[in-house]
Amino acid sequence: MSTTTSKPYSPKPFRIAVPDATLVDLKKRLQDVRWPDEVAPGWDYGVDLQYLRSFVDYWRDEYDWRKHEAALNELTQYTVEIDSINLHYIHVEGKGPDPIPLLLTHGWPSSFADFRKIIPMLTDPASFGDDPRDAFTVVAPSMPGHGFSFSPNQRRFSIPEISDTFAKLMVDVLGYRTFGSQGGDWGAFVSSRLAYAYPQNVRGIQISLLTIPRERPAVDTPTQEENEFFDQLADWLKEETGYIQIMGTKPQTLAYALSDSPVGLAAWILEKFRSWTDCDGDADAWLGRDVLATNIMLYWATGAIGSSFWPYYARHHGPWMVPPGERIHVPCGYAEFPKEFLRPPRSLAERMYGNITRWTKMERGGHFPALEQPEELAKEIRAFFRTVR
């Protein structure tokens, strides 16, 4: 990729300002709900009815979007026209002698708001009692098709295309010839693709999900760890991937329901935050209802839920992001959180990640570490990137 601009990019300051009419309409929809029955109380068949009724009551009557909108607006935000869309991103300068530019990428069904707590820890470590030499300048975009990087009828993006756009953002728009990349979920896919496609620009990647192909390699004597992982994978594919199948095959059909019903949208998202976190069955206590509602709002208020499905469709109908037989050679740090839904052993990870320089087993946390364990994740990010300065 060229490190010179081929067109004049003009980032514009951005502030979140959801129209009052959107909030009035939402409150009405949360009042006039047609509730289903349920086979049995509990979460065995999906979101528990009693829980969802309670959550909707809170969202409608107690949650204050304007408070959280103001908190998000404390982060310095921009939009820039790039690759035919207006890309929304956070850009916070580091407070240290030589801050590393660091791209933070969220996944699904989360958002840039995941990083609200961790960004100050990364940009101003001295304020948290840590070494100012570990400071980062953080860039945290909304992925194309998500949140404020969405407008109706815009083009859809695969993970390789998102990675290309983010490389242009970092190098051509912001002028960072080299940078680090961090993420979980799709953010780990984006970081991995960037490391493969732009090794001249990416100093290193720190991820919390290993994005290896999910087929068993042809080996004569798999290890016990490998066999245990493929048993885990088989159970996950059987019991937990219905959302991938519908979003990856008929995304438009689901978009009608979730764009029209905020309760349906909440159920679709809340199930994942409960299932994929280290919450012991209580996501409210682990993350907080306001955190959950704010994340849902960033899909509801922007109308971006249908477009957020597209990476699943593109992945389902395209090749793996790293061609078969090829490897990533950029330094990689991996944080294994105990409640991540897939945790491959190192022997399998090294088939794709050819330069794993740090592998840390974390004590607590799951699929959303920036929300669940921001302090521990920040420490791990700093520790890894000290090795690639």
CATH number at residue 382: 3.40.50.1820
Residue-level pLDDT at 221: 87
181, β-bridge pairs: 103, 205
CB-based contact 90:76 (threshold 8 Å): yes
CB-based contact 33:201 (threshold 8 Å): no
Amino acid at 6: S
Amino acid at 62: E
Residue 1 lies in a domain: no
Domains of the chain: total: 1
pTM for the whole structure: 0.96
Residue-level pLDDT at 120: 98
Residues in CB range of 256: below 8 A, 6 or more apart: none
Residue 5 lies in a domain: no
Cis peptide before 109 (omega within 30 of 0): yes
Residue 62 lies in a domain: yes
pLDDT, one tens digit per residue, over 83-92 is: 999 999 999 9
Per DSSP, helices labelled H in the chain are: 20-31, 49-61, 65-72, 118-123, 159-168, 186-197, 224-239, 242-249, 251-260, 262-275, 283-287, 289-300, 305-308, 310-316, 346-349, 369-372, 374-385
pLDDT, one tens digit per residue, over 312-368 is: 999 999 999 999 989 999 999 999 999 999 999 999 999 999 999 999 999 999 999
Domain span at residue 83 reads 12-388
Residue 222 lies in a domain: yes
Residue-level pLDDT at 6: 54
Residue-level pLDDT at 4: 44
88, β-bridge pairs: 79
Residue 57 lies in a domain: yes
Residues of the chain with pLDDT under 70: 1-7
Residue 4 lies in a domain: no
What backbone torsions phi and psi does residue 309 show, to the nearest 5 degrees? -75, -20
CB-based contact 263:33 (threshold 8 Å): yes
Residue 6 lies in a domain: no
Residues in CB range of 236: below 8 A, 6 or more apart: 341, 342
The catalytic residue positions are 185, 313, 367
CA 124 to chain centre: 22
Residue-level pLDDT at 209: 98
Task: Report the alpha-carbon distance of residue 137 to residue 263 in Å, rounded.
Answer: 37
Residue-level pLDDT at 7: 64
Residue 221 lies in a domain: yes
